[in-house]
Amino acid sequence: MFLNKIKNFLVFSFFIFLLLTKASSIEKIEGVPSVTDGDTIKINGNKIRLFGIDAPEVKQSCKKPFISFSFYSLYKKYNCGVISTKKLRDKISNKKISCLISNKDRYGRFIGECFYKNLNINSWMVKNGYAVAYLKYSKKFVAQENQAKKNKLGIWQGSFINPWEWRKKNKN
């Protein structure tokens, strides 16, 4: 009986140790970023994929209305991937940002939520329609996506293929 209590205590202690180790493994990377695309930045040589969002690829195009009649619209293509990248670059260029790193992806990039002062950059990208909530990995930015959709901001002003579907169709 006494040995069972000791065994249970050791097992419990081990799991607490694992939980505390995992909780404290969140890392912070700070610095002035360079922007790779609408959901990836680099700080001090560290590639960081913005957590919970997916932005159009640099070569991806979307459609938006350029002439509308009462029941019909004509659409034109535009390079939404370039615009997404540019909007992120304009927002954070030459500014010191902080990224809370939670993981690494299969490509070795850090996965992080990044901030300029109190502004959550991941959230800002989705809220303004320059990226979508990446539901495969998180539901954290669904409200921001719904707001962008409702207000027809960014890619939501027209039509587009979700970035993960576009990547799948355009593998090189």
Reported as a single tens digit per residue, the pLDDT across 129-161 is 999 999 999 999 999 999 999 999 999 999 999
Contact 115, 93 (CB under 8 A): no
Q: Which position has the higher pLDDT, 55 or 3?
A: 55
Contact 9, 16 (CB under 8 A): no
Averaged pLDDT of the chain: 88
Digit-coded pLDDT (tens) for 10-56: 444 444 444 444 444 569 999 999 999 999 999 999 999 999 999 99
Whole-prediction pTM value? 0.82
How much is the average pLDDT of 65-84? 85
Extents of the domains making up the chain: 26-169
- Residues 81-107 as b/e (b if ≥16 CB within 10 A, e otherwise) read bbbbbebbbebbeeeebbbebeeeeee
On whether the 26-169 domain is CATH 2.40.50.90, my answer is yes
